[in-house]
Structure 1
């Protein structure tokens, strides 16, 4: 899915593609999703085409699609005290 070697724009486009697929699986049109999320249709269309959207709007979309909890996991990765901790964890 995501690679540490991808550029931010590529990651944004990947997220937009995942959103679009989930929207379609739920049989929602762009107009329906934008209305439910409280964002403009133009913003949703731009997001699906380019990956560009405000962070707040992305959270609103994620909420409607049942993915809001993923945002709570951002920046919560374990902080290591030494390189040895990293090595030990990867070897488990």
Structure 2
């Protein structure tokens, strides 16, 4: 009985390992413009028919937004008194 349970758990682990997350992340795509362009072209040319393709296209969209908008840290912060100092 224990052997059967161990084999079942091993089988589930193997199946889970086969369906893993994509290697690309938002940060890695934002840091590599050539790869981001390649993924965007793929998303434009082929429709998102499966969940993996849809996920990578969403990551590419977020990476483009991050490259355009930045990380949120602005170099200029207004002073607290409301008056600009020139």
Q: TM-score range by the shorter chain?
A: under 0.3
| TM-score (ref. length: structure 2) | 0.24
Q: Greater relative contact order: 1 or 2 (C-alpha under 8 angstroms, separation 6 or more)? A: 2
